[in-house]
Amino acid sequence: MVNPNYEESNVTRPIYKVYKRRFWGLAQLVLLNIVVSWDWLTFSSISSTAAEYFQVSESAINWMSTGYLFAFCIASPFVIWVLNKGGPKPAIVITATLLLIGNWLRYAGTRANGGIFGLAMFGQILIGLAQPFCLCAPTRYSDLWFSDKGRTSATAVASLANPLGAALGQLIDSEWASKPSDIPNMVLYISVISSVAAIPSFFLPAAPPTPPSASSAIPRTPLIPATRQLLGTLEFWLILIPFSVYVGFFNSVSSLLNQILEPYGFSETDAGIAGAILIVVGLVVAAVVSPLTDRFKHYLGSIRILVPIVVASYIGLIFAPSSSAGIAPSYVVMALMGASSFSLLPVVLEYLVEITYPFSPEIGSTICWTGGQLLGACFILIQDALKASENANPAYNMRNALIFACVICAAAAPFPLSLGLFGRTVTRRRLEIDRGIELQGSVSPPEEKKGGLSEDTPPADISFYIR
């Protein structure tokens, strides 16, 4: 018979707790991701109007988005270091600071002397430097503040706020800037909104008083060894390659959507609605999929279902703009693309953290986001170069650019679908650590001593988990 006083006299159980204040930081990450994404597509959704105002070509306006993405890549190594050494709080503060400076410099570039394109571009690049600090923070933040019962949902809310900002930009910017002379006021309004959203960043708590789960309490592998081992792991590349490709084409299509639809007689407002459908439908579906993933942990099954749907949506995008049915097919394709892409994003990010544990979450996620932004910039340049000439029917159509996107997306699909196949077992180690602690609460004290998962630090070599 078990001594009823055994627990008090012989065992000191660690106490794991989540705090309500975690939602304040999550809300701030949401706000920052909304405004940095809105800033990113400020001029893309009104590319022809902006080109006329600055007296430059639409290709030059495309560089507002492309330069933003390249800035992301430049900042990424520093982002990994800040998140690894300081946690989410310093990254959030840096985001807010760069947003404040970049937005007002960009406004000055649109207002001064009838528009100074170079100054506006410089402000845009500063905002681009801010984006990775908040976009790469959600997995680190959810790991620090949330238990396994809410991590995927927290990552989804913060990460998908970024495309929500893009949707707002697609819808609102075309209304605020219906003619070239409206550009300065539009940028002013966005700068005010971004500034208000940035201010709370300086008052957030840095970390919870106690860890939310067992896996959060265990020391992580140091940054340099973790990065080296991560880059030598096959499963990481099976996620990195498709993640980069699909995020890259999402960025490219979002930036070029107006130019994809315009040759077929659709307006900037039509393109804005299409972009909003892409985002809103994606957010709604992700709001359903993410809690289900939190509950059932079917990461790999979700990936294998959603990746083919993403590829199918890019196939549909080739034919939708030229359809005789008008704009409706493009709206349907945008809805399909948004639903699959947005549902896939947080699932992949959390699955990556699970299989690379005990590596700190920001390492893998930042590398993946950087790959997506880098390819996004490259895809914008390539697809812009593939734009048809003025003698084509219709002039300046982007059919070849869309075929290019479809081929690359299809070529990337086998990589994630191969996870866990060919005799390789992929272990969700972080989840096992957390469940080990929970399981110990339901067994007798002598059996608890046999488990040891709560007391032993996991080995640094990731091959222990993927074999």
Which residues, 6 or more positions from 411, have their beta carbon under 8 angstroms from its beta carbon? none
Residue 200 reports pLDDT greater than 70: yes
The answer to which of 112-116, 124-128, 166-170, 281-285 has the lowest mean pLDDT is 166-170
Residues 239-252 have a mean pLDDT of 93
User: What pLDDT was estimated at residue 57?
Assistant: 85
Q: How confident is the model at residue 32 (pLDDT cuts 50, 70, 90)?
A: very high
Query: 3-class DSSP state for residue 426?
Result: strand
**CB-based burial label for 412 (10 Å; 0-12, 13-18, 19+):** buried
User: What pLDDT was estimated at residue 14?
Assistant: 67
Residue 438 reports pLDDT greater than 70: no
Residue 278 reports pLDDT greater than 60: yes
- The CA distance from 217 to 34, in Å, is 31
Q: For helices 151-176 and 328-356, what crossing angle results, to 10°?
A: 150
User: What pLDDT was estimated at residue 9?
Assistant: 43
The answer to which of 6-10, 107-111, 266-270 has the lowest mean pLDDT is 6-10
Residue 324 reports pLDDT greater than 80: yes
The top-scoring range by mean pLDDT among 88-102, 241-255, 267-281, 347-361 is 88-102
Residue 41 reports pLDDT greater than 80: no
User: What pLDDT was estimated at residue 457?
Assistant: 39
Which residues, 6 or more positions from 390, have their beta carbon under 8 angstroms from its beta carbon? 396
Left (φ > 0), alpha (ψ -120 to 50) or beta: where does 419 sit? beta
Residue 207 reports pLDDT greater than 60: yes
Residues 45-60 have a mean pLDDT of 85
Percentage above 90 pLDDT, the chain: 39
Q: Where are the domains of the chain?
A: 20-464
pLDDT digits (tens, 9 = 90+) for 398-412: 999 999 999 999 999
Q: What is 20-464's CATH superfamily? A: MFS general substrate transporter like domains (1.20.1250.20)
Q: How confident is the model at residue 447 (pLDDT cuts 50, 70, 90)?
A: very low
Residues 192-206 have a mean pLDDT of 92
User: What pLDDT was estimated at residue 467?
Assistant: 46
Report which DSSP code applies to 220.
P
Residues 244-269 have a mean pLDDT of 89
* pLDDT, mean over the chain: 84
User: What pLDDT was estimated at residue 13?
Assistant: 59
Q: How confident is the model at residue 279 (pLDDT cuts 50, 70, 90)?
A: confident
Residues 327-336 have a mean pLDDT of 94
The answer to which of 62-66, 96-100, 227-231, 429-433 has the lowest mean pLDDT is 429-433
Residue 196 reports pLDDT greater than 80: yes
Residues 128-139 have a mean pLDDT of 90
User: What pLDDT was estimated at residue 12?
Assistant: 56
Tokens matching residue 256:
């070029």
- The CA distance from 388 to 385, in Å, is 8
The torsion of the CA quartet 97, 102, 105, 111, rounded to 10 degrees, works out to -130
- The CA distance from 293 to 152, in Å, is 7
Q: Please, are residues 65 and 40 in contact by the beta-carbon 8 Å criterion?
A: yes
